[in-house]
Amino acid sequence: MKVNIKINNKDYSVSSSLTILEAAKLAHIKIPTLCKHEDLPPTANCGICVVKVKNNRKLIRACCTLVEKGMDITTHDGELYEVRKNVLELILSTHPFLCLTCLRNGNCELQKLAEEFGIREVPYNNIVKGGKTDTSTKAVVFDAQKCIGCGRCVEVCQEIQQVHALEFLDRGFNARIAPAGDIQLADSPCIKCGQCSAHCPVGAIVEFSQATQVWLTLRDETLHPVVQIAPAVRVALGEGFGLEPGALLTGQIYAFFRRIGFKAIFDTNFGADLTIMEEGSELIERLVHGKGTLPLITSCCPAWVDFLEKYYPDLIEHFSTAKSPHEMVGALSKTYYAEKMGIDPGKIFMLSVMPCTAKKFEIARTADMHSSGYQDVDVSITTRELVRMIKTSGVNLLDLEDEKADSVLGSYTGAGTIFGATGGVMEAAIRTAYFLVTGKELENLDVEDVRGLKGVKRATVDMNGKKIRVAVAHGIGNVREVCEELRECKASGKPMPYDFIEVMACEGGCIAGGGQPYQVTNKIRTMRSKGLYNDDGKCELRCSHHNKEVQQLYKEFLDKPLSDKSHHLLHTKYIPRPIYYK
């Protein structure tokens, strides 16, 4: 239902389901806030978004107040300015003044508001709460001293992801946010997805940065540094340099890494094509030959793997044993590539550039991540870390001419590039599984039923008369729905409702991973995804089984999908893990 309201003396007709904050945004009016994020329900914690409503003696919080018929709202005047400034000063009075050394310096919402409100000094004593910096996960860092208590991390962890690794503790001035049970984050239910860091407005939760380690490695002339870039990175990196989400910078990223000293540039999209060959073959083994449990569930998202091992260990048998694409490329860089180039694999330093914080945990998750005889991937950095590295380097990324990845582990098909969007793994798998089952190419390669931001997508694919039931889930809160379906079927003896399931821990998939540029919204998720689908559409080859370098890899080195060597280098195992370690 529409209602008529006034905002700053102008008439508007808006939906009655909107809050004042949302209605003002539609009117192109910015009401400042630190606790409200588009992804999250309002918590009304910060108090900065207060507005005036005519005939109401109190100031109203815009983030949690619905518009009503006839409302006359004032969003900005002298009194509101002073109130908001005072609230900011109070927040700053309990915040450490460490901006120059903070990872969020120049990209901090609190810092930005302080600048906008002209705060040059704080008229209160600076009383910073104690608390140790928690680096225990080696994926994200929680610095309790910098926490402003906005609650975004708690909301995204409890309501969106439904992991419950973070919570509010104590009351009054002692109220604080901490890992559940007030223990180390690594001992909590945390799955390292990094959505807390992606939604934190300040530097309280950030990625475990390893950029310094990369720079130090580049100085060591005895090493042979190589790098691979994930699909989602190329459509989000530009945001760090003023470009629109979805802008494709693949060739310029390759050029940058060559400029700073990397000896070979690979692409994780190659690993995605390889994953489809292995995982697709595994699906056929289970589906056609009855070797294994159905449904088969994808395993390329490490936060999802950690979640299932903790919360649904009874479903482990459904996991694909295929490693994630970047782990496959890492293992091959120190075996296949090293052999072809005559390089000592012990001298190869493999860097992965990922949209994800959980990849930092994954690279040392089990002994299988050392299948080359060395740690297959040495360091994994996020898109945000890459933005900072480029700025540190002095290289003007946008002025670079496009370059190509190196052969051997660098070519990819359109199927590989769409891995970064929710539904992309499923779509890529369908394109190749159809060929493996029927011996024919899928006529329409655009599988629209598995695209988009709906939390759980279900579809049926006809493969030569055989109906393949698939599901795609993204965002752990949505994933639980599918897991409970499977668990209920197992308990009751009912037939399973699916043959193949794709899961991504983060809403939207890797394009909105925990290591991507800040302030992601559904609009930005859509734009980044569109960038990947555009790249797919422009590729000469759009199916993983057409990748000539992948074909050459099997011919020269692996023999065939699911061979003994493939299993050793490209597959892994899973184990039940406790939700709490203490």
CA distance 553 to 275: 13
Question: Which overall architecture, per CATH, does domain 212-570 show?
Answer: 3-Layer(aba) Sandwich (3.40)
**Does position 173 have pLDDT exceeding 90, yes or no?**
no
The per-residue pLDDT for range 232-267, each reduced to its tens digit, is 999 999 999 999 999 999 999 999 999 999 999 999
pLDDT in tens, 123-163: 999 888 878 899 999 999 999 999 999 999 999 999 999 99
Q: How do the domains of the chain map onto residue ranges?
A: 2-76, 91-207, 212-570
Q: What pLDDT is attached to residue 301?
A: 98
Name the architecture of domain 2-76: Roll (3.10)
Question: How far is Cα 19 from Cα 14, in angstroms, rounded to an integer?
Answer: 10
Confidence label for 7 from pLDDT (cuts 50, 70 and 90): very high
13: buried, middle or exposed (CB in 10 Å: 19+, 13-18, 0-12)? Answer: exposed
C-alpha 112/C-alpha 518 separation (Å) is 14
Q: What is the pTM of this model?
A: 0.95
Give the residue among 468, 581, 579, 582 at the shortest CA–CA distance from 162: 579
Q: What is the largest CA-CA distance in the chain?
A: 80
Tokens of 138: 């080696």
pLDDT reported for residue 130? 76
213 exposure class (CB count in 10 Å sphere: 0-12, 13-18, 19+): middle
Is pLDDT at 549 greater than 80 in this prediction?
yes
CATH topology of domain 91-207: Alpha-Beta Plaits (3.30.70)
**Contact of 390 with 253, CB cutoff 8 Å:** no
Closest by CA to 224, choosing from 313, 343, 101, is 343
pLDDT score recorded for residue 465: 85
Question: Which tokens in the block code for residue 444?
Answer: 């329409």
472 forms beta bridges with 457, 502
Predicted confidence band of residue 463 (pLDDT cuts 50, 70, 90): confident
Q: Are 179 and 311 in contact (CB under 8 A)?
A: no
The per-residue pLDDT for range 39-70, each reduced to its tens digit, is: 999 999 999 999 999 999 999 999 999 999 99
pLDDT tens string 369-412: 999 999 999 999 999 999 999 999 999 999 999 999 998 999 99
Mean pLDDT along residues 512-534: 97
